[in-house]
Amino acid sequence: MRKIATVFKWEINKLFSSWKRTVTLFLLPAILLMLALNIFPLLINYMSTGSINKRPVTVVAAPASFRRYVEENVDARVFDYDFITYKEFNEMTDDKDSFRKQIRKGTLVCYFASGDAFKDFDEVVTAYYEEVSSGNRAAVSEATIYVGFDENSITSEARAEQFIEGVLDNYQDSLIDTLGGDYSVVGSSLFETDSFNPVTDFEDYRTVANTAAARVVPGVLLIMMYYCVYSLVSDMFASERDRGFMAKLLMTPVKPKHIYAGKILAINVIVTASTYVTMLLLFFSSWINRSNDAMSLLPFGMMLTPAELLIVLFSIPITVLLMTAVCISTVFQLERMQDITVNLQLPLVFFLGDFFLQMVRGTRPVTMEYFIPLHNTLALIAETFMAQNKAWHVIVIYLFNLGLALLVLRNAFRKEELK
Protein backbone atom coordinates (compact mmCIF):
# COMPACT_ATOMS: atom_id res chain seq x y z
CA MET A 1 0.00 0.00 0.00
CA ARG A 2 2.86 2.39 0.83
CA LYS A 3 4.32 1.93 -2.67
CA ILE A 4 0.93 2.56 -4.26
CA ALA A 5 0.76 5.78 -2.24
CA THR A 6 4.30 6.75 -3.36
CA VAL A 7 3.45 6.34 -7.05
CA PHE A 8 0.10 8.09 -6.51
CA LYS A 9 1.80 11.04 -4.79
CA TRP A 10 4.40 11.25 -7.56
CA GLU A 11 1.76 11.40 -10.29
CA ILE A 12 -0.31 14.00 -8.45
CA ASN A 13 2.79 16.14 -7.80
CA LYS A 14 3.70 15.84 -11.48
CA LEU A 15 0.34 17.31 -12.41
CA PHE A 16 0.68 20.20 -9.99
CA SER A 17 4.33 20.86 -10.89
CA SER A 18 3.15 22.91 -13.83
CA TRP A 19 0.22 25.32 -13.76
CA LYS A 20 -0.33 24.68 -17.47
CA ARG A 21 -0.93 20.96 -16.82
CA THR A 22 -3.22 21.74 -13.89
CA VAL A 23 -5.30 24.24 -15.85
CA THR A 24 -5.43 21.99 -18.92
CA LEU A 25 -6.88 19.13 -16.91
CA PHE A 26 -8.99 20.84 -14.28
CA LEU A 27 -10.37 24.00 -15.74
CA LEU A 28 -9.87 24.20 -19.48
CA PRO A 29 -12.30 21.41 -20.49
CA ALA A 30 -14.93 22.73 -18.08
CA ILE A 31 -14.54 26.32 -19.27
CA LEU A 32 -14.60 25.29 -22.94
CA LEU A 33 -17.74 23.25 -22.32
CA MET A 34 -19.42 26.17 -20.57
CA LEU A 35 -18.57 28.43 -23.47
CA ALA A 36 -19.78 25.86 -25.99
CA LEU A 37 -23.06 25.33 -24.13
CA ASN A 38 -23.71 29.04 -23.95
CA ILE A 39 -22.42 29.99 -27.38
CA PHE A 40 -24.01 27.09 -29.30
CA PRO A 41 -27.65 28.30 -28.94
CA LEU A 42 -26.56 31.87 -29.76
CA LEU A 43 -24.76 30.64 -32.84
CA ILE A 44 -27.75 28.64 -34.04
CA ASN A 45 -29.97 31.65 -33.46
CA TYR A 46 -27.56 33.92 -35.32
CA MET A 47 -27.28 31.52 -38.27
CA SER A 48 -31.03 31.18 -38.41
CA THR A 49 -32.23 34.73 -37.75
CA GLY A 50 -29.19 36.96 -38.17
CA SER A 51 -29.62 38.09 -34.56
CA ILE A 52 -27.71 36.93 -31.49
CA ASN A 53 -30.31 37.80 -28.88
CA LYS A 54 -33.62 35.99 -28.85
CA ARG A 55 -36.49 38.41 -29.25
CA PRO A 56 -39.43 38.54 -26.83
CA VAL A 57 -42.81 37.18 -27.90
CA THR A 58 -44.95 40.09 -29.03
CA VAL A 59 -48.38 39.56 -27.49
CA VAL A 60 -51.12 41.60 -29.12
CA ALA A 61 -54.12 42.55 -26.97
CA ALA A 62 -53.33 40.11 -24.21
CA PRO A 63 -56.42 39.46 -22.08
CA ALA A 64 -56.15 39.66 -18.29
CA SER A 65 -56.40 35.87 -18.06
CA PHE A 66 -53.22 35.46 -20.15
CA ARG A 67 -51.25 38.05 -18.19
CA ARG A 68 -52.31 36.32 -14.97
CA TYR A 69 -51.38 32.93 -16.44
CA VAL A 70 -47.89 34.18 -17.32
CA GLU A 71 -47.37 35.57 -13.83
CA GLU A 72 -48.48 32.37 -12.11
CA ASN A 73 -46.83 29.74 -14.31
CA VAL A 74 -43.13 29.04 -14.44
CA ASP A 75 -43.38 27.31 -17.83
CA ALA A 76 -44.80 30.47 -19.35
CA ARG A 77 -42.02 32.60 -17.88
CA VAL A 78 -39.45 30.67 -19.89
CA PHE A 79 -40.29 33.22 -22.62
CA ASP A 80 -39.94 37.01 -22.42
CA TYR A 81 -43.00 38.99 -23.49
CA ASP A 82 -43.65 42.32 -25.08
CA PHE A 83 -47.32 43.22 -24.50
CA ILE A 84 -48.81 45.64 -27.04
CA THR A 85 -52.30 46.88 -27.99
CA TYR A 86 -54.12 46.43 -31.33
CA LYS A 87 -53.30 50.06 -32.11
CA GLU A 88 -49.59 49.59 -31.49
CA PHE A 89 -49.66 46.41 -33.56
CA ASN A 90 -51.29 48.25 -36.48
CA GLU A 91 -48.63 50.95 -36.30
CA MET A 92 -45.99 48.25 -36.23
CA THR A 93 -47.32 46.51 -39.32
CA ASP A 94 -47.82 49.75 -41.26
CA ASP A 95 -44.14 49.66 -42.14
CA LYS A 96 -44.23 46.26 -43.84
CA ASP A 97 -40.48 46.02 -44.52
CA SER A 98 -39.59 46.77 -40.90
CA PHE A 99 -42.18 44.23 -39.65
CA ARG A 100 -40.88 41.51 -42.01
CA LYS A 101 -37.36 42.24 -40.79
CA GLN A 102 -38.47 41.76 -37.19
CA ILE A 103 -40.16 38.46 -38.01
CA ARG A 104 -37.02 37.31 -39.86
CA LYS A 105 -34.98 38.13 -36.74
CA GLY A 106 -37.10 35.65 -34.79
CA THR A 107 -39.97 37.73 -33.36
CA LEU A 108 -43.01 35.58 -32.52
CA VAL A 109 -46.38 37.30 -32.64
CA CYS A 110 -49.21 35.99 -30.47
CA TYR A 111 -52.42 37.70 -31.52
CA PHE A 112 -55.56 37.47 -29.39
CA ALA A 113 -58.74 37.98 -31.47
CA SER A 114 -62.12 38.00 -29.73
CA GLY A 115 -64.17 37.91 -32.94
CA ASP A 116 -66.34 40.75 -31.54
CA ALA A 117 -65.14 44.34 -31.82
CA PHE A 118 -67.03 45.39 -28.66
CA LYS A 119 -65.93 42.60 -26.35
CA ASP A 120 -62.55 41.53 -25.11
CA PHE A 121 -61.17 37.97 -25.40
CA ASP A 122 -61.99 36.96 -21.81
CA GLU A 123 -65.59 38.19 -22.12
CA VAL A 124 -66.12 36.14 -25.28
CA VAL A 125 -64.66 33.01 -23.67
CA THR A 126 -66.74 33.53 -20.48
CA ALA A 127 -69.87 33.94 -22.60
CA TYR A 128 -69.06 30.74 -24.45
CA TYR A 129 -68.74 28.73 -21.23
CA GLU A 130 -72.04 30.22 -19.97
CA GLU A 131 -73.75 29.07 -23.19
CA VAL A 132 -72.28 25.58 -22.83
CA SER A 133 -73.27 25.47 -19.15
CA SER A 134 -76.87 26.38 -20.00
CA GLY A 135 -77.05 23.32 -22.24
CA ASN A 136 -76.38 24.84 -25.64
CA ARG A 137 -74.14 22.17 -27.03
CA ALA A 138 -73.99 23.88 -30.42
CA ALA A 139 -72.37 27.00 -28.94
CA VAL A 140 -69.39 28.29 -30.90
CA SER A 141 -66.76 30.76 -29.76
CA GLU A 142 -64.99 32.97 -32.22
CA ALA A 143 -62.20 33.77 -29.77
CA THR A 144 -58.99 32.82 -31.54
CA ILE A 145 -55.26 32.98 -30.82
CA TYR A 146 -53.00 33.38 -33.84
CA VAL A 147 -49.25 32.72 -33.71
CA GLY A 148 -47.05 34.30 -36.36
CA PHE A 149 -43.44 33.33 -37.03
CA ASP A 150 -40.89 33.08 -39.85
CA GLU A 151 -41.65 29.83 -41.68
CA ASN A 152 -38.24 29.83 -43.35
CA SER A 153 -36.35 29.69 -40.07
CA ILE A 154 -36.00 26.42 -38.17
CA THR A 155 -35.24 28.29 -34.96
CA SER A 156 -38.40 30.44 -35.28
CA GLU A 157 -40.51 27.43 -36.13
CA ALA A 158 -39.11 25.41 -33.20
CA ARG A 159 -39.64 28.34 -30.86
CA ALA A 160 -43.23 28.81 -32.08
CA GLU A 161 -43.97 25.11 -31.54
CA GLN A 162 -42.43 25.28 -28.09
CA PHE A 163 -44.54 28.35 -27.28
CA ILE A 164 -47.76 26.75 -28.55
CA GLU A 165 -47.19 23.42 -26.78
CA GLY A 166 -45.59 24.74 -23.62
CA VAL A 167 -47.63 27.88 -23.04
CA LEU A 168 -50.74 28.31 -25.18
CA ASP A 169 -52.07 24.74 -24.89
CA ASN A 170 -51.78 24.85 -21.10
CA TYR A 171 -53.19 28.37 -21.00
CA GLN A 172 -56.25 27.25 -22.98
CA ASP A 173 -56.71 24.29 -20.64
CA SER A 174 -56.56 26.66 -17.67
CA LEU A 175 -59.33 28.89 -19.06
CA ILE A 176 -61.98 26.39 -18.02
CA ASP A 177 -60.92 26.94 -14.40
CA THR A 178 -60.51 30.69 -14.53
CA LEU A 179 -63.35 31.67 -16.86
CA GLY A 180 -65.47 28.52 -16.98
CA GLY A 181 -67.88 29.55 -14.23
CA ASP A 182 -70.42 26.78 -13.61
CA TYR A 183 -68.87 24.73 -16.39
CA SER A 184 -65.72 24.37 -14.29
CA VAL A 185 -65.86 21.05 -12.53
CA VAL A 186 -62.60 20.79 -10.72
CA GLY A 187 -61.50 24.32 -10.14
CA SER A 188 -57.97 25.33 -9.36
CA SER A 189 -56.41 24.25 -6.14
CA LEU A 190 -52.94 25.70 -6.28
CA PHE A 191 -50.54 25.40 -3.41
CA GLU A 192 -48.87 28.77 -3.11
CA THR A 193 -45.16 28.45 -2.46
CA ASP A 194 -43.19 31.02 -0.62
CA SER A 195 -41.78 33.07 -3.47
CA PHE A 196 -39.18 34.71 -1.18
CA ASN A 197 -37.55 31.38 -0.43
CA PRO A 198 -34.80 30.73 -3.01
CA VAL A 199 -35.19 26.96 -2.63
CA THR A 200 -38.88 26.97 -3.51
CA ASP A 201 -38.10 29.39 -6.33
CA PHE A 202 -35.62 26.85 -7.71
CA GLU A 203 -38.18 24.11 -7.21
CA ASP A 204 -40.59 26.00 -9.47
CA TYR A 205 -38.12 25.90 -12.34
CA ARG A 206 -36.57 22.54 -11.53
CA THR A 207 -38.68 20.27 -13.75
CA VAL A 208 -38.12 22.31 -16.91
CA ALA A 209 -34.40 22.82 -16.24
CA ASN A 210 -33.72 19.21 -15.23
CA THR A 211 -35.49 17.85 -18.32
CA ALA A 212 -33.27 20.04 -20.48
CA ALA A 213 -30.23 19.02 -18.40
CA ALA A 214 -31.04 15.32 -18.88
CA ARG A 215 -30.42 15.84 -22.60
CA VAL A 216 -27.16 17.77 -22.20
CA VAL A 217 -25.36 17.03 -18.93
CA PRO A 218 -24.76 13.22 -19.16
CA GLY A 219 -23.19 13.44 -22.62
CA VAL A 220 -21.08 16.44 -21.67
CA LEU A 221 -19.79 14.72 -18.53
CA LEU A 222 -18.92 11.51 -20.40
CA ILE A 223 -17.03 13.34 -23.17
CA MET A 224 -15.19 15.42 -20.62
CA MET A 225 -14.32 12.36 -18.46
CA TYR A 226 -13.06 10.39 -21.43
CA TYR A 227 -10.98 13.31 -22.69
CA CYS A 228 -9.24 13.53 -19.30
CA VAL A 229 -8.78 9.75 -18.93
CA TYR A 230 -7.41 9.46 -22.45
CA SER A 231 -4.92 12.32 -21.89
CA LEU A 232 -3.72 10.91 -18.58
CA VAL A 233 -3.42 7.29 -19.74
CA SER A 234 -1.50 8.53 -22.79
CA ASP A 235 0.87 10.42 -20.51
CA MET A 236 1.22 7.99 -17.58
CA PHE A 237 1.28 4.73 -19.54
CA ALA A 238 1.89 5.17 -23.29
CA SER A 239 4.36 8.10 -23.20
CA GLU A 240 6.22 6.76 -20.20
CA ARG A 241 6.61 3.39 -21.88
CA ASP A 242 7.65 5.08 -25.11
CA ARG A 243 10.36 7.16 -23.44
CA GLY A 244 11.55 4.23 -21.32
CA PHE A 245 10.54 5.70 -17.96
CA MET A 246 8.05 2.90 -17.33
CA ALA A 247 10.93 0.39 -17.67
CA LYS A 248 12.81 2.35 -15.02
CA LEU A 249 9.80 2.11 -12.69
CA LEU A 250 9.32 -1.58 -13.40
CA MET A 251 12.99 -2.17 -12.52
CA THR A 252 12.42 -0.99 -8.95
CA PRO A 253 11.65 -3.56 -6.23
CA VAL A 254 7.94 -2.74 -6.41
CA LYS A 255 5.33 -5.12 -7.78
CA PRO A 256 4.22 -3.97 -11.26
CA LYS A 257 0.58 -4.14 -10.17
CA HIS A 258 1.34 -1.70 -7.34
CA ILE A 259 2.94 0.74 -9.80
CA TYR A 260 -0.08 0.45 -12.09
CA ALA A 261 -2.49 0.75 -9.15
CA GLY A 262 -0.81 4.01 -8.01
CA LYS A 263 -1.16 5.44 -11.50
CA ILE A 264 -4.78 4.28 -11.88
CA LEU A 265 -5.66 5.77 -8.50
CA ALA A 266 -4.08 9.08 -9.53
CA ILE A 267 -6.00 9.08 -12.82
CA ASN A 268 -9.24 8.35 -10.97
CA VAL A 269 -8.77 11.06 -8.36
CA ILE A 270 -7.73 13.68 -10.93
CA VAL A 271 -10.52 12.92 -13.41
CA THR A 272 -13.19 12.60 -10.72
CA ALA A 273 -12.16 15.95 -9.22
CA SER A 274 -12.05 17.54 -12.66
CA THR A 275 -15.54 16.17 -13.47
CA TYR A 276 -16.90 17.50 -10.18
CA VAL A 277 -15.53 20.93 -11.11
CA THR A 278 -17.28 20.66 -14.48
CA MET A 279 -20.53 19.63 -12.78
CA LEU A 280 -20.32 22.57 -10.44
CA LEU A 281 -19.79 24.90 -13.38
CA LEU A 282 -22.73 23.30 -15.21
CA PHE A 283 -24.96 24.05 -12.21
CA PHE A 284 -23.65 27.61 -12.05
CA SER A 285 -24.17 27.98 -15.78
CA SER A 286 -27.82 27.09 -15.24
CA TRP A 287 -28.23 29.28 -12.15
CA ILE A 288 -26.78 32.38 -13.79
CA ASN A 289 -28.93 31.91 -16.89
CA ARG A 290 -30.85 35.14 -16.27
CA SER A 291 -32.46 35.24 -19.70
CA ASN A 292 -33.81 31.70 -19.19
CA ASP A 293 -34.75 31.45 -22.83
CA ALA A 294 -36.57 28.36 -24.01
CA MET A 295 -33.81 27.61 -26.52
CA SER A 296 -31.16 27.59 -23.83
CA LEU A 297 -29.44 24.23 -23.34
CA LEU A 298 -29.42 24.65 -19.57
CA PRO A 299 -32.39 26.80 -18.49
CA PHE A 300 -32.46 28.41 -15.05
CA GLY A 301 -33.08 26.21 -12.03
CA MET A 302 -31.18 22.95 -12.59
CA MET A 303 -31.13 21.19 -9.23
CA LEU A 304 -30.79 17.68 -7.78
CA THR A 305 -31.96 16.35 -4.46
CA PRO A 306 -29.13 15.14 -2.15
CA ALA A 307 -29.91 11.49 -2.99
CA GLU A 308 -29.89 12.19 -6.74
CA LEU A 309 -26.66 14.14 -6.41
CA LEU A 310 -24.99 11.24 -4.56
CA ILE A 311 -26.05 8.80 -7.30
CA VAL A 312 -24.41 11.00 -9.95
CA LEU A 313 -21.31 11.69 -7.83
CA PHE A 314 -20.70 7.97 -7.12
CA SER A 315 -21.25 6.95 -10.73
CA ILE A 316 -18.33 9.14 -11.84
CA PRO A 317 -15.30 7.37 -10.22
CA ILE A 318 -16.74 3.98 -11.26
CA THR A 319 -17.11 5.16 -14.86
CA VAL A 320 -13.63 6.70 -14.79
CA LEU A 321 -12.22 3.34 -13.62
CA LEU A 322 -13.88 1.55 -16.53
CA MET A 323 -12.66 4.17 -19.02
CA THR A 324 -9.14 3.87 -17.56
CA ALA A 325 -9.28 0.07 -17.84
CA VAL A 326 -10.31 0.26 -21.51
CA CYS A 327 -7.57 2.80 -22.31
CA ILE A 328 -4.85 0.82 -20.46
CA SER A 329 -5.91 -2.37 -22.23
CA THR A 330 -5.54 -0.55 -25.58
CA VAL A 331 -2.10 0.80 -24.63
CA PHE A 332 -0.89 -2.66 -23.55
CA GLN A 333 -2.07 -4.24 -26.81
CA LEU A 334 -0.28 -1.77 -29.08
CA GLU A 335 3.35 -0.79 -29.46
CA ARG A 336 3.52 2.32 -31.65
CA MET A 337 2.49 5.70 -30.21
CA GLN A 338 0.57 6.77 -33.33
CA ASP A 339 -1.52 3.53 -33.23
CA ILE A 340 -2.21 4.11 -29.55
CA THR A 341 -3.27 7.72 -30.12
CA VAL A 342 -5.66 6.79 -32.95
CA ASN A 343 -7.17 3.87 -31.03
CA LEU A 344 -7.61 5.92 -27.86
CA GLN A 345 -9.37 8.67 -29.79
CA LEU A 346 -11.89 6.30 -31.39
CA PRO A 347 -14.19 6.06 -28.34
CA LEU A 348 -14.52 9.86 -28.44
CA VAL A 349 -16.51 9.40 -31.67
CA PHE A 350 -18.81 6.98 -29.80
CA PHE A 351 -19.29 9.45 -26.94
CA LEU A 352 -19.99 12.34 -29.34
CA GLY A 353 -22.57 10.22 -31.19
CA ASP A 354 -24.14 9.18 -27.90
CA PHE A 355 -24.25 12.84 -26.79
CA PHE A 356 -26.09 13.97 -29.94
CA LEU A 357 -28.50 11.00 -29.75
CA GLN A 358 -29.34 11.92 -26.18
CA MET A 359 -29.92 15.54 -27.26
CA VAL A 360 -32.67 14.53 -29.68
CA ARG A 361 -34.23 11.53 -27.97
CA GLY A 362 -37.38 12.10 -25.97
CA THR A 363 -37.78 8.66 -24.41
CA ARG A 364 -36.30 7.23 -21.23
CA PRO A 365 -33.63 4.50 -21.54
CA VAL A 366 -34.69 0.88 -22.02
CA THR A 367 -33.41 -1.93 -19.74
CA MET A 368 -30.96 -3.23 -22.34
CA GLU A 369 -29.09 0.07 -22.21
CA TYR A 370 -28.07 -0.57 -18.60
CA PHE A 371 -25.78 -3.32 -19.92
CA ILE A 372 -24.01 -1.26 -22.58
CA PRO A 373 -20.73 -0.31 -20.88
CA LEU A 374 -20.22 3.43 -20.37
CA HIS A 375 -23.43 4.28 -22.23
CA ASN A 376 -25.22 3.00 -19.11
CA THR A 377 -23.71 5.87 -17.10
CA LEU A 378 -25.25 8.29 -19.56
CA ALA A 379 -28.60 6.52 -19.14
CA LEU A 380 -28.27 6.57 -15.33
CA ILE A 381 -27.42 10.29 -15.12
CA ALA A 382 -30.20 11.18 -17.60
CA GLU A 383 -32.73 9.17 -15.58
CA THR A 384 -31.54 10.79 -12.36
CA PHE A 385 -31.99 14.28 -13.79
CA MET A 386 -35.50 13.30 -14.91
CA ALA A 387 -36.17 11.90 -11.40
CA GLN A 388 -37.03 8.55 -12.98
CA ASN A 389 -34.20 6.41 -11.63
CA LYS A 390 -34.89 3.30 -9.61
CA ALA A 391 -32.68 1.76 -6.94
CA TRP A 392 -32.08 -1.45 -8.91
CA HIS A 393 -30.94 0.52 -11.98
CA VAL A 394 -28.34 2.29 -9.87
CA ILE A 395 -27.08 -0.92 -8.23
CA VAL A 396 -26.98 -2.89 -11.51
CA ILE A 397 -25.09 -0.16 -13.36
CA TYR A 398 -22.59 0.41 -10.53
CA LEU A 399 -21.83 -3.31 -10.14
CA PHE A 400 -21.76 -4.00 -13.88
CA ASN A 401 -19.28 -1.19 -14.61
CA LEU A 402 -17.12 -1.92 -11.58
CA GLY A 403 -16.97 -5.67 -12.33
CA LEU A 404 -16.19 -5.06 -15.98
CA ALA A 405 -13.44 -2.55 -15.12
CA LEU A 406 -11.71 -5.00 -12.77
CA LEU A 407 -12.00 -7.81 -15.32
CA VAL A 408 -10.51 -5.73 -18.14
CA LEU A 409 -7.67 -4.56 -15.89
CA ARG A 410 -6.89 -8.09 -14.69
CA ASN A 411 -6.71 -9.39 -18.26
CA ALA A 412 -4.58 -6.46 -19.42
CA PHE A 413 -2.08 -6.93 -16.56
CA ARG A 414 -1.89 -10.68 -17.14
CA LYS A 415 -1.14 -10.25 -20.84
CA GLU A 416 1.48 -7.60 -20.04
CA GLU A 417 3.13 -9.90 -17.49
CA LEU A 418 3.38 -12.71 -20.05
CA LYS A 419 5.44 -10.49 -22.34
Partner 1 sequence: MIRVMDVHKSYTKEKETIKGVSFEVKKGEIFGLLGPNGAGKTTLMQMIATLMKPTSGIIVIDGLTADKDLLEIHKRIGFLTNEIKLDPMSTPNRLFDFFAELYDIPKEQLYQRRKESFERFGIGPFADKRINELSTGMKQKISIAISLIHNPPIIIFDEPTNGLDILTSKQVTDYLMDLKEQGHAIILSTHIFSVAEALCDEIAILVDGRIAAQGSVKELVDQTGAENFEKAFFKIYVDNHVE
From 1, 17, 192, 196, residue interacting with partner 1 (rule: CB under 8 A): 17
Parallel, antiparallel or unpaired: strands 57-60 and 81-84: parallel
Whether the Cβ atoms of residue 124 and residue 118 lie closer than 8 Å to each other:
no
Distance in Å, CB of 252 to partner 1, minimum:
4
Distance in Å, CB of 244 to partner 1, minimum:
4
24 binds partner 1 (CB under 8 A): no
Instruction: Using the rule CB under 8 A, give the single segment among 4-12, 277-285, 306-314, 392-400 that binds partner 1.
Output: 4-12
119 binds partner 1 (CB under 8 A): no
From 187, 253, 306, 362, residue interacting with partner 1 (rule: CB under 8 A): 253
249 binds partner 1 (CB under 8 A): yes
Rounded to 10 degrees, the C-alpha dihedral 40/50/159/156 comes to: -140
Of the candidates 114, 84, 117, the one whose C-alpha atom is nearest the C-alpha of residue 102 is 84
Of the candidates 237, 293, 240, the one whose C-alpha atom is nearest the C-alpha of residue 261 is 237
Q: Alpha helix (H) ranges present in 234-255?
A: 240-242, 245-250
6 binds partner 1 (CB under 8 A): yes
117 binds partner 1 (CB under 8 A): no
Of the candidates 267, 229, 285, the one whose C-alpha atom is nearest the C-alpha of residue 33 is 285
Where are the extended beta strands (E) located within 89-234?
108-113, 144-148
From 1, 190, 199, 418, residue interacting with partner 1 (rule: CB under 8 A): 418
Of the candidates 127, 147, 143, 187, the one whose C-alpha atom is nearest the C-alpha of residue 57 is 147
Angle between helices 121-133 and 64-72 (to 10 degrees): 90
From 96, 97, 138, 244, residue interacting with partner 1 (rule: CB under 8 A): 244
Give buried/exposed letters for 26-60 (b at 16+ CB in 10 A, else e): beebbeebbeebbeebbeebeebbebeebbebbbb
Of 119 and 257, which has the nearer Cβ to partner 1? 257
12 binds partner 1 (CB under 8 A): no
252 binds partner 1 (CB under 8 A): yes
> Which residues are within 8 A (CB) of 152 and not within 5 positions of it... i.e. 6 or more apart?
104
Distance in Å, CB of 308 to partner 1, minimum:
39
From 87, 100, 248, 361, residue interacting with partner 1 (rule: CB under 8 A): 248
Of 68 and 257, which has the nearer Cβ to partner 1? 257
Q: How many residues bind partner 1 (CB under 8 A)?
A: 23
From 13, 170, 333, 388, residue interacting with partner 1 (rule: CB under 8 A): 13
**CA-to-CA distance for 29 and 374, rounded, in angstroms?**
20
251 binds partner 1 (CB under 8 A): yes
Of 6 and 53, which has the nearer Cβ to partner 1? 6
- What 3-state class would DSSP assign to 363? coil
Of 254 and 277, which has the nearer Cβ to partner 1? 254
247 binds partner 1 (CB under 8 A): yes
Any bridge partners for residue 30, and if so which? none
From 42, 147, 254, 281, residue interacting with partner 1 (rule: CB under 8 A): 254
Whether the Cβ atoms of residue 7 and residue 259 lie closer than 8 Å to each other:
yes
Instruction: Using the rule CB under 8 A, give the single segment among 164-172, 253-261, 285-293, 360-368 that binds partner 1.
Output: 253-261
Interacting residues toward partner 1 by CB under 8 A: 3, 6-7, 10, 13-14, 17-18, 21, 243-245, 247-255, 418-419
